Amino acid sequence: MKHLSLAALIVSTVALTACGKKHKEETAAAPAPTATAPAPAPTPAPAPADDPAAKSKEQREKESKQKALDFATMEDKYINDPRGQWASDAKASSSFSEDPKNPPEDGGKVKRVLGPVDNKVWTNNNQDIGFDWLETTYAKPVSATEVRIVFSHGNGVDAVTKLELQDTDGKWVTVWSGLSDQKEDNRGDRTWFVKTFDKTPYKVKAVKFTIANNVHTGYKEVDAVQLVGD
């Protein structure tokens, strides 16, 4: 009986030793716990490129000068276009502060649209009622491809509703009508209303455009009207 107890004791000791060894191996194999790094702070989204607050004073000044330069380049191209000519005579449906005893064309105001751009303007006599029109004639009839109307500060550019051309026989042809999609050009003191069309098979001697006064409330101011063609 003592022999059996000694054998059982030996078996029990071996089992305990093996269990302890296995526990040590598992402990050694388990990775050591790692400290969790703090989450990085969120990066603020960059301000939009066109956000004025994100631009320096120097950047804003540079952009303003670039816009002015682009406007001057465009105007120079139009004004010195060898295919363009300026009005030699004009008449209108009304002129601001005209003498009611005289017809509009004798009021003096409409004559300000003659010749090239010079900051002297014709102003109509209606702000928000009915329609007004301005008709300009040219010394040399041409097969036309474009008309350019210069509005001072864009006043009335969005109210143009119809553009007509007159041939040498006196017939009027409508080359465009509708709502103007031209807005004030804030790069300079003038806005150019430009309409391009297929080259006319007839010679054009006059241009007439109509303005809806209630589309743009206020007086309309036109500096010059240029006819382009060969």
In the structure encoding, which two tokens stand for residue 24, read together? Answer: 């040590």
* 82 contacts: CB under 8 Å, gap ≥ 6: none
Nearest to 216 by CA among 136, 147, 123: 123
Instruction: Read off the amino acid at residue 116.
Output: P
| pLDDT of 1 above 50 | no
Select from 196, 186, 190 the least CA-distant residue to 76: 190
Q: Residue type for 86, please?
A: W
Please give the model's pTM, rounded to 2 decimal places: 0.73
Architecture of domain 85-229: Sandwich (2.60)
Q: Is the pLDDT of residue 203 over 70?
A: yes
Which of 17-21, 86-90, 167-171 comes out lowest in average pLDDT? 17-21
The confidence score (pLDDT) of residue 184 equals 95
Strand partners, 146: 196, 228
